[in-house]
Amino acid sequence: MKLYGIKNCDSVKKAIKFLNEHNLEYQFVDLKSQTIECDTINDWLKSVEMKKLFNSRSTTYRNLKLKELNLDDTAKIEWLCKEPMLIKRPVIELKSGSTVVGFNQDEYNQKLL
């Protein structure tokens, strides 16, 4: 499985702790240093709703003043592709092809164990 995030994010730290405690193997992908392909984002959106993946509460969202643009889903995908800090973290890509976004202990217990 792959874990996408940034090292200093509290939710990502919780996810890493969960994975390590349960001896689950994962590859960490740093959203600050590695480019995420639009195809990858579109794959995530096959199993996760846009409102869960697109982080409209982030500092990046506020700094870019995206609320004023009243973005539709197509425009949100464009922004996610060019500004990965708009992606809600962490994103866990499972080998089954499904995706888990954010940190939720119950969801992790259900989908990762």
Give the domain ranges of the chain. Answer: 2-112
Q: What is the pTM of this model?
A: 0.94
User: Which fold does the domain 2-112 belong to in CATH?
Assistant: Glutaredoxin (3.40.30)
Could you list the active site residues? 9
Cβ neighbours for 53, distance < 8 A, ≥ 6 positions apart: 41, 44, 45, 80, 87, 88, 91, 101
Tens digits of per-residue pLDDT, 72-89?
999 999 999 999 999 999
* Predicted local confidence at residue 1, as pLDDT: 96
Q: What is the tens place of the pLDDT at every residue in 92-111? A: 999 888 999 999 999 999 99
Query: Confidence band (pLDDT; 50, 70, 90) for 33?
Result: very high
The overall average pLDDT reported for the chain is 96
